[in-house]
Chains A and B, each alone.
Chain A
């Protein structure tokens, strides 16, 4: 260890080996994987994100939502991610193909969001306005929809303004302590809208060859209690 070059080369060899094994080799193997065509629908997966949703991803990144939320569903046996209804199957590399940057998260202060688009109520287009309204209210102040939430409020994504010619259609329906004073209304700014568009683009539920969706056996245990369900009209506590 007294030879400087040996020490130097040893360190380089060690660091380079891991780089090769953990970065270069996996990159060679799956780094240029293309989108796949889904058997059921014939569509490409993952789909391109609409432009607004892509802008929303930037807001998500900038506000650091990933310090509290993960976007990963683990396979069976790992903390009941599946039973909890966080997704119909585990997530795999394919699901993140379009994420730039990938915001997997490492702590779950709040629930996983990998399938938030479909998880809360039905994903069909009729449910869309209700979902948007839910997320906007939630972002304005989480406790308007979820009692006891510790998620931060994001009032700065909204604008409180005086009602001039009748209430605007996109004003939040706020009650009680959260409602603005009479004559005022709260409307989402562009950032809030695109952020919700991003949330509603988050779904990793298509059946893939390497991660098939396996319908649960009929005698499956009860599904885990979910955070909130719009379909049932509000938060289940």
Chain B
């Protein structure tokens, strides 16, 4: 098997040389990456706070702004929309541009979209903390904030499609499809939710369906799709092997498009039996895409494990691949009636969310983001800080996922014993929950070095740029003044 990773295979057919593609991302990287990382720091801090608050009722109970029911969704919003989604979209556009052998088209739209996006996340996080949550799980941010995000995503999406349409390569590397899917999916699910949930004529259980459908779509198709696209791009690079199979990638892709959006309901939901069964069938069929991805990852990484583990980027993307498969598998299992009857409404589904978002999405973004920044700006980021970030993120999210899954299983078993007093169940599951606080702490601490690395690197870039402008701008002025005098 020969590999052309590391060789500029596309430059001959592509109209643009490699580094022009990367350089076209420079303004985007300079403007948006720091913001995304700030959301990561804020989000990991808020989720840490929420987790600490579970240790006792009086923990920071003095202010409504810091109550558990606000801090948790605010933190999750910052992580999902502020960081994973925002950075994932940027990296997605970058892989898309590379796959298309084309410079980023309409970078102005991406910048404008990014500004709206960050305003939206800000309005969302502050809105939730201030008490304006919508009360809809997964879509807690006030609808005005979601509207800003939707417009932002639409602008970015236009740039994505333009870049894809201007492609110069005959066969596009498949991670591009996932990026396009993600861009469309966000606008589709968010705008449908906005339009339908705003109306007063949508009542009760139908609201439940809409918010679950949109929430599932955003988490598994928008974010999950972006994550999968990035893993398919980054895993072979880190393994220095070709991606195993185009066919399996296609299966994952169309499964994500046609099956995953149906994975909306779970057994026990207050909906007619047929609606529930359609959702469960959706969960079952969605597992096809996960299985295809699992084999694809396995065959790509096979024989290159040592190489994958030798760099922090490799460790992160390997972790992301594993987490993606674990999350997808558990999501399928939880839709089975026997399993759902025990673990639904426990901590286990929370653990799954963390596996998909914290593991699948955030790890792969952390794996690719430094290289993106370096290539777009031509500036190296501090490798020591990045290593620290990778290790703490892997251990932190790993502990969170495992301890919540453990807590969920204990809680579920205990609830299945009707003779057991409820408070004993609460106490029994708290060990795992407390352990997860440690994971949240490590995860938060791990983002500080990343922030330092990114801010350090980008400030240096900005300083150079200012220096360049000055030396270029001041000289004529001086001359002019000299001429006048």
Interface residues of A (CB under 8 A from B): 1-2, 4, 7-8, 10-12, 14-15, 17-19, 21-23, 26-27, 29-31, 60-68, 70, 72, 74-75, 77-80, 83-84, 90-111, 141-143, 146-156, 221-227, 235-237
Q: Are A26 and B196 touching (Cβ within 8 A)?
A: no
CB distance from B101 to the nearest CB of A (A): 13
A101 with B55: in contact, given A10-B257, A15-B188, A226-B422 (CB under 8 Å)? no
A2 with B171: in contact, given A15-B257, A152-B53, A224-B418 (CB under 8 Å)? yes
Q: Are B204 and A98 touching (Cβ within 8 A)?
A: yes
A63 with B271: in contact, given A4-B165, A12-B184, A99-B204 (CB under 8 Å)? no
Which secondary structure dominates chain A's binding surface? loop
Sample of 15 A–B contacts (CB below 8 Å): A11-B181, A11-B257, A26-B206, A64-B73, A66-B135, A68-B69, A83-B418, A93-B270, A93-B271, A98-B203, A147-B423, A151-B57, A154-B61, A156-B63, A225-B420
Q: Are B205 and A150 touching (Cβ within 8 A)?
A: no
A107 with B349: in contact, given A141-B58, A225-B420 (CB under 8 Å)? yes
Which secondary structure dominates chain B's binding surface? helix
| A40→B14 CA distance, assembly (Å) | 76
Q: Are A18 and B208 touching (Cβ within 8 A)?
A: no
As a 0/1 sequence over residues 396 to 420 of chain B, the CB contacts with chain A under 8 angstroms (1 = contact) are: 0000000000000000100111111
A18 with B282: in contact, given A107-B346, A227-B423 (CB under 8 Å)? yes
CB distance from A235 to the nearest CB of B (A): 8
Task: Indicate whether B250 reaches chain A with its CB closer than 8 angstroms.
Answer: yes
For A22, give its contact among B55, B184, B213, B427 (CB under 8 Å): B213
Task: Indicate whether B103 reaches chain A with its CB closer than 8 angstroms.
Answer: no
B window 175-213: CB within 8 A of A: 177, 180-181, 184-185, 188-189, 192, 196-197, 200-211, 213
Residues of A within 8 Å of B67, CB to CB, are 63-64, 152, 154
Determine, out of B36-44, B258-266, B437-445, the stretch whose residues face the partner at the interface. B258-266
| A7→B174 CA distance, assembly (Å) | 12
Residues of B in contact with A, size category: 35 or more
Q: Are A236 and B421 touching (Cβ within 8 A)?
A: yes
Q: Are B206 and A27 touching (Cβ within 8 A)?
A: yes
A225 with B345: in contact, given A19-B192, A155-B61 (CB under 8 Å)? no
| A14→B225 CA distance, assembly (Å) | 14
As a 0/1 sequence over residues 145 to 187 of chain B, the CB contacts with chain A under 8 angstroms (1 = contact) are: 0000000000000000100110000111010010011001100
| A15→B69 CA distance, assembly (Å) | 32
| A11→B257 CA distance, assembly (Å) | 6
Q: Are A78 and B217 touching (Cβ within 8 A)?
A: no
Q: Are B217 and A15 touching (Cβ within 8 A)?
A: yes
B window 255-279: CB within 8 A of A: 257-258, 261-262, 264-265, 267-272, 275, 278-279
For B205, give its contact among A4, A30, A74, A77 (CB under 8 Å): A30
| A77→B427 CA distance, assembly (Å) | 24
| A106→B184 CA distance, assembly (Å) | 27
In the complex formed, the residue of A with least CB distance to B221 is A15
Residues of B within 8 Å of A30, CB to CB, are 205-206, 272
